Every structure is written in C-alpha cells, then in structure tokens.
Amino acid sequence: MTPSKEWMIFFNDRFNEKYKVGVEQFLNYAFKKTSEENNIRCPCVKCNNTDYGSREVVEMHLNVNGIMPNYTTWYHHGERLGESSSDDEESEGSDCDEILRDLYPNMDGFYRSGSEIGSSNENKHGEEPNDEAKKFYRLLKDSEQPTYPGCDTSKLSVLVKLLHIKSIGRWSNESFDMLLQLLKQILPIGSNLPESYYDSKKIIKDLGLSYQKIDACKNDCMLYWKEEDKSNMCKICGASRWKENSHNEETKVRKNGKKLAVKTLRYFPLKPRLQRLFMSKKTASFMRWHHEKRVDDGLMRHPADSMAWKSFDDLHKDFSIEPRNVRLGLASDGFQPFTHSKKSYSIWPVILIPYNLPPWMCMKESNFILSSLIPGPEGPGDAIDVYLQPLIEELKEFIWEFVWLEYQR
C-alpha cells in the first residue's frame, strides 16, 4: 500500500508540515521498494525521475525544487497498478460495515461511533427517526448478531460471504438451500442463518443491495419501463419482449411461471453512492479539489485542465459557480464475464468517474461508480442512449433536488 499522496497538493507550499511529513513517508516507501545501492530516482521537477540520488539528496531536492505534481502513480518507486493507497482507507471495519455505510451514508457517523441504538434514537434535534433510519437501526441490530451464540462472525457477514461463493461457484439455488440446511444442523443451537436462498435474497434486498432489472428490446429500440412496463412487444420494431423456443416459437417460461425476457438492463441507483462521497468530511473536501487546490499552470493532469471543462464552465456559469456540483465522467466497454463459456456473450458495464476528485483518486477503481450493466452480445453502439435513460432520469431528479436545497437555504 502506498502512503497518502495528499501532501503532493502542497508542492507550491513546501514549508507546510504536511508536505514535509509526506516527503518522509514517500522516501520510506521508495527506499523500501526500489533502492539500488542506496539510491533512488529523484522525482523533483528538475530531475524528472531521470537522475538518481541518495536519501539526503532526494529529500533536499523535494524540499527545494518540489515534487512533480503530476507524478501521481509512483511507478518509478515501486508502485504498481491497482495498489491501494492509505488515502482509500477511511476507517477499518468488516466488509459488512462498508456495505452498510455504502447504503446508509447518512448514518455514517452514527454507525461508526457504534452508539447504543436506544439512546441515539432521538437525534440531536429531538426528531423521531424516519422510516429509512428505523430500517437502518433494524439492519444494524441484525447484522451485529453473531451467527450463533459465542461466534465472532456476524450473521450478515457470513451470509454475504456464502452468497459470494455461490455466485463465483455458480451453484444452483437448490444446492444453496441444501448447504443452509446442513449448516443449520451442524451449527450450535441458536444459530440464525436464513433457511433458504429465497430468505437470504430477501435479507439482501431489504438492505437495498439489489439493482433494478429493466427489460429491453432485443434490437435496442426501447426499454420496457414506465408506460411500457407491461408491454409484450417493442413499439418500434415489433419484436417480442420474450425469449421463444426455436422449434415451436412458443414463449419460454421459467419453472416459476415467469416469462424470460430476451434482454435485461441492470441499473444501480446512483443517489446513495453520491451521497456517500459528500458524507465523510475528508471526501467532501476532495470533491472540491478541482476548485480549491488545483493549480492552473497550463499542464494537463486533470480533466479540469482541459479546454472542454473550461468552455463548459463558461457556458454554464450557474453550475460552475458551485464547486460541490458533481461532474461525472462516463465510460463503457464490453467484456466477457464467463470466459470459459462457448457462447459469445459480453456485457457492457457503464462506469461513472467522479471528476471532482483529485487525479490520484478519480482514476482509482475503488472510486468508480458502477451505474448499469448493458446486455450483449454486441455493444450498444448508438443505442447506448436507450440504456442510459434511467441514469439520465436520476440525474435530472438531482437537479431538482439541488434547486430545492438552494431554495431551502
């Protein structure tokens, strides 16, 4: 793990204590990873990683000349792609804590402080908790229950891991039920894992972890949502919504009687994730980085340095005046999830990248936001517009919310 790179923004203010501490941590990291005969490449603006120096020399260069501000992946000092950084670590906790925080960002402080449910039920303002909060308290209580009396691992933690294995191993729902039955028999009395896959899924659904499934025309003309939610055929090309048996052209039906759609879009609501970005004080200040900390020296190291960004600002002055307004980059590329399967089937994930964040954070996978999974087999091409509708609609809703917040102030 690389040390924090937050100090690099002070490359013009090198007497800042944070800069000095950062330089020390950088040197410790670099010498541990890459020193050759006690020398490393010097990343100061003059040496440009071409010249080598001892610890003392590099330290002096960094303090006198300053570090190259766009050297945000310390490749020449042992950092490798995908390596985590201590900037990513907000707090320690189990996977489940993180999932819950992800879902209920507004409860962040509460959850981390681990306060007693009863005493915090009335918050500072003496208000009754709303339904959302009540649901969270319930989940919190449930997730903290040990799997069986005396067990260190919580019920939710075990459940999420089991479901993960099921999904990686592509177990059938029936085999998962069988495993749960077996666990029930062998775990001590008082164990509280759900009894079936159905019940497990329900718990996850109540957590808000599930995505929305929206069927689509097989020719990508339209989505079956809103008024078209119940339609059986595409109103543009007339193709059937449902899978048909190739020999008798009858609609394929699942065991549970439900029809199988030819194509389905999976959509992950954006709102809770965006809220999270602004919840923690630290990330919230990073979300204003492009406005407050970025140095305009003509070097291109962040989208905010680009012409496109600047002309957007000129065109939309009302938007750009508020640095907290979220700017998202959108990326999509197809991939083949089941490499061993003979059938060619690719899905096209749509990823959002919060461009408000500084360069060393906005290109980190952990800060990417998965928005949609567009079904294959071919890429959506121009039809991507059709599949982006749910996202666009949610974004439009935010505009109204922001306006509303403005109004309330």
For Zn ion, the binding residues (CB under 5 A) are 42, 44, 47, 61, 217, 219, 221, 234, 236-237, 239
How near is the Cβ of 310 to Zn ion at its closest, in Å?
32
C-beta of 156 vs 234, nearer to Zn ion? 234
At closest approach, how far in Å is the CB of 27 from Zn ion?
Answer: 12
Q: With respect to Zn ion, which residue has the nearer C-beta, 41 or 101?
A: 41
3-class DSSP assignment, residue 349 = strand
Query: Residue 52 CB, nearest distance to Zn ion (Å)?
Result: 9
The answer to whether 371 and 350 have CB atoms below 8 angstroms apart is: yes
Cβ-based nearer residue to Zn ion, 357 or 374: 374
Cβ–Cβ < 8 Å for 372, 390: yes
DSSP string, 52-91: EE-HHHHHHHHHHT-B-TT--S-GGGT--TT--BTTT-S-
Q: Which is nearer to Zn ion, 44 or 160 (CB)?
A: 44
Angle value at C-alpha 276, between 80 and 168, nearest 5 degrees: 55
Please spell the DSSP secondary structure of 158-219, one letter per residue.
Answer: HHHHHHHHHHHHT--HHHHHHHHHHHHHHSPTT----SSHHHHHHHHHHTT-PPEEEEE-TT
- Nearest CB to Zn ion, comparing residues 151 and 221: 221
Nearer to Zn ion, 61 or 302 (CB): 61
What's the rounded Cα separation, in Å, for the pair 198 and 174? 10
Least distance in Å: CB of 37 to Zn ion?
Answer: 17
User: Least separation, in Å, of the C-beta of 300 and Zn ion?
Assistant: 22
Q: Is the dihedral of CA 153, 164, 266, 263 positive or negative?
A: negative
226 or 340: whose CB is closer to Zn ion? 226
22 vs 354 by CB, closer to Zn ion: 22
Closer of 203 and 217 to Zn ion (Cβ) = 217
Q: Tokens representing 4?
A: 């924090």
Q: Which residues contact 95 (CB under 8 A, 6 or more apart)?
A: 157, 160
Instruction: For residue 394, give both structure tokens.
Output: 């949610």
What does 87-151 look like in DSSP terms, one character per residue?
TT-S----HHHHHHHHH-GGGHHHHHHT--HHHHSS-TT-PPP-HHHHHHHHHHHHHHSBSSTT-
**Minimal distance, residue 258 CB to Zn ion, in Å:** 21
User: How near is the Cβ of 225 to Zn ion at its closest, in Å?
Assistant: 14
> What amino acid occupies position 39?
N
Q: Give the neighbor-by-neighbor strand order of the sheet with 212-216.
A: 212-216, 263-267, 369-375, 347-354, 328-332
Give me the least distance between CB of 219 and Zn ion, in Å please.
4
Q: Which is nearer to Zn ion, 192 or 231 (CB)?
A: 231
Closest distance of CB 220 from Zn ion, Å: 7
Angle at 89 between CA 83 and CA 210, to 5 degrees: 90
What gap in Å lies between CA 251 and CA 267, rounded to an integer?
25
Rounded CA separation 341/215 (Å): 23
Nearest distance in Å: CB 53, Zn ion: 6
8 A C-beta contact, residue 125 and residue 42: no
3-state SS, residue 243: coil
